[in-house]
């Protein structure tokens, strides 16, 4: 047996991907050419959203989404504590205040009941959020109908952080169609489902939001006379009408995205086969396997188990480290954001979001990626079983 570590996630790069990128290298445009729009078209076709903006990361996509929604000083952004820090940081970039809504103990996603309770309290205090960012953890969709209903009732905007969820479905409809949200964000980091090396996208059905995000993606600069003040000076003319950034995706990245998107369905179905097989192979072990919300099809970016520590001799940390020592590249998604030192300095405390903190004490992400072999999967299960039997 090879002693190579089995990673928790890994990209699949084929000759088709390589040819696509090389073709761009030999073309006239390395950036701002035709590939980015082609990739955006593929994202729109996949999701049904009417606008897609490819950018250099999901973090940038979250930032321009917040800016386009007008998030600013004095506003609140709420998200889940169990997410990558970027889902919360985007609020701070805009000088808004950030708060969290604890997770549902089964789905590990933002709990809509707790969201409603928190909204009732915030309304009384006059601190309702302007933006709420539900995160489809592991690719499992959040309860978007409930969140969308609350958004209407309490007047907040919704950005779906679907970094884990491209290729998934909610009530038979593709994640990213923005039916219950204003904007949906994807990540194309190599550990995610589809990769462009680094990259992200923001999707929406609202033309004004798409227009504003396009401005923030590229310096706040426009060549569209309709967006300018006064008359154009001539063919060379552009105007800066907002303070934007350079968050553009390159043509090389978009080319990779185009060929990757052609294999999306296969990627996700391969993950489903592996997940189903894990569920079966782990069923007699003292672990809780992922819960599948009714009427949803997960993108299955991650396969997270929770240790039933009462029935295990070792600690969570000992199990985790033994797995790593034995070549299983497990990970933990995520450390609750409110417990990070930066957030603690803002006043958050241990104990603020107990369900999230309990999850953190038990969760482990097992290796799962679309190119994973059954032999690799068997060896993960074997090592885990041996460790749990100690």
Nearer to ligand PLP, 164 or 248 (CB): 164
Residue 262 CB, nearest approach to ligand PLP (Å):
21
Binding window for ligand PLP (CB under 6 A); candidates: 21-29, 52-60, 233-241, 288-296: 52-60
The single residue listed with the structure tokens 């250099």 is 56
Residue 87 CB, nearest approach to ligand PLP (Å):
5
- Does position 200 interact with ligand PLP (CB under 6 A)? The reply is yes
Q: Binding residue for ligand PLP (CB under 6 A) from 160, 161, 251, 357?
A: 161
Nearer to ligand PLP, 68 or 201 (CB): 201
Positions in 108-147 near ligand PLP (CB under 6 A): 135
Residue 64 CB, nearest approach to ligand PLP (Å):
12
Q: Do residues 161 and 185 touch, judged by C-beta distance below 8 A?
A: yes
* Cα distance between residue 74 and residue 367, in whole Å: 41
Nearer to ligand PLP, 334 or 348 (CB): 334
Nearer to ligand PLP, 59 or 222 (CB): 59
Residue 325 CB, nearest approach to ligand PLP (Å):
26
Q: Binding residue for ligand PLP (CB under 6 A) from 46, 89, 163, 322?
A: 163
Q: Binding residue for ligand PLP (CB under 6 A) from 35, 130, 189, 212?
A: 189
Strand, helix or coil at 206? coil
Nearer to ligand PLP, 46 or 87 (CB): 87
Nearer to ligand PLP, 11 or 322 (CB): 11
* Two structure tokens written together for 106: 């089964």
Nearer to ligand PLP, 86 or 178 (CB): 86
Nearest of 118, 125, 120 to residue 80 by alpha carbon: 118
CB atoms under 10 Å from CB of 77, counted, come to 29
Binding window for ligand PLP (CB under 6 A); candidates: 156-164, 201-209, 317-325, 370-378: 156-164
Binding window for ligand PLP (CB under 6 A); candidates: 24-32, 160-168, 208-216, 245-253: 160-168
Nearer to ligand PLP, 87 or 109 (CB): 87
Strand, helix or coil at 246? strand
Helices (H), the chain: 15-25, 35-47, 58-68, 86-93, 112-125, 144-154, 207-217, 251-261, 264-281, 316-325, 341-344, 354-362, 374-388
At what angle are helices 374-388 and 316-325 packed, to 10 degrees?
A: 140
* Cα distance between residue 322 and residue 287, in whole Å: 16
Q: Do residues 53 and 214 touch, judged by C-beta distance below 8 A?
A: yes
Q: What is the DSSP string of 273-311?
A: HHHHHHHHHTTTSSEEPPP--TTEE-----EEEEE-GGG
Active site residue 157: no
- Does position 51 interact with ligand PLP (CB under 6 A)? The reply is no
Count residues binding ligand PLP (CB under 6 A): 14
- Does position 164 interact with ligand PLP (CB under 6 A)? The reply is yes
Preceding amide of 284 cis, omega within 30: no
Burial class (CB in 10 A: 0-12, 13-18, 19+), 44: middle
Residue 199 CB, nearest approach to ligand PLP (Å):
7
Selected catalytic residue, list 35, 118, 130, 192: 192
Residue 139 CB, nearest approach to ligand PLP (Å):
10
Positions in 53-112 near ligand PLP (CB under 6 A): 57-59, 83-84, 86-87
- Does position 250 interact with ligand PLP (CB under 6 A)? The reply is no
Residue 374 CB, nearest approach to ligand PLP (Å):
26
Residue 38 CB, nearest approach to ligand PLP (Å):
20
CB atoms under 10 Å from CB of 167, counted, come to 27
* Two structure tokens written together for 117: 């309770």
Residue 165 DSSP symbol: -
Q: Do residues 338 and 360 touch, judged by C-beta distance below 8 A?
A: no
Residue 137 DSSP symbol: G
Active site residues: 192
| Chain contacts with ligand PLP (rule: CB under 6 A) | 57-59, 83-84, 86-87, 135, 161, 163-164, 187, 189, 200
């Amino acid at each position: 047996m090879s002693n190579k570590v089995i990673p928790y996630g890994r990209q699949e790069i084929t000759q088709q991907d390589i040819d696509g990128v090389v073709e761009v290298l030999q073309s006239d445009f390395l950036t701002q050419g035709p590939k980015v729009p082609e990739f955006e078209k593929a994202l729109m076709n996949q999701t049904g959203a009417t606008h897609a903006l490819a950018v250099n990361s999901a973090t940038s996509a979250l930032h321009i989404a917040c800016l386009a929604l007008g998030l600013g000083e004095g506003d609140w952004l709420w998200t889940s504590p169990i997410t990558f820090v970027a889902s919360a940081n985007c609020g701070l970039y805009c000088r808004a205040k950030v708060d969290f809504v604890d997770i549902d103990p089964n789905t590990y996603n933002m709990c809509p009941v707790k969201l409603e309770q928190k909204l009732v309290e915030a309304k009384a205090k006059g601190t309702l959020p302007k933006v709420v960012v539900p995160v489809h953890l592991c690719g499992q969709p959040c309860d978007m109908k409930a969140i969308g209903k609350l958004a209407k009732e309490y007047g907040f905007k919704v950005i779906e952080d679907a970094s884990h969820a491209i290729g998934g479905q909610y009530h038979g409809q593709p994640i990213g169609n923005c039916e219950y949200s204003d904007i949906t964000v994807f990540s194309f980091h190599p550990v995610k489902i589809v990769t462009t090396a680094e990259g992200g996208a923001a999707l929406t059905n609202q033309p004004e939001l798409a227009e504003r995000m396009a401005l923030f993606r590229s310096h706040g600069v426009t060549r569209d006379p309709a967006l300018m003040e006064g008359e154009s000076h001539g063919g060379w003319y552009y105007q800066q009408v907002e303070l934007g950034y350079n968050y553009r995706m390159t043509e090389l990245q978009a080319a990779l995205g185009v060929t990757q998107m052609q294999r999306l369905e296969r990627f996700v179905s391969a993950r489903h086969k592996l997940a189903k097989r894990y569920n079966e192979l782990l069923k007699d072990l003292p672990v809780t396997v992922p819960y599948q919300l009714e009427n949803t099809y997960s993108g299955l970016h991650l396969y997270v188990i929770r240790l039933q520590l009462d029935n295990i001799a070792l600690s969570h940390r000992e199990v985790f480290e033994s797995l790593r020592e034995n070549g299983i590249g497990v990970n933990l998604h995520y450390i609750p954001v409110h417990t990070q030192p930066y957030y603690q300095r803002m006043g958050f405390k241990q104990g603020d979001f107990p369900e999230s903190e309990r999850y953190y004490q038990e969760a482990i992400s097992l290796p799962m990626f679309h190119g994973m072999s059954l032999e690799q999967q068997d060896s993960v299960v074997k090592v885990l079983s041996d460790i749990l039997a100690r």
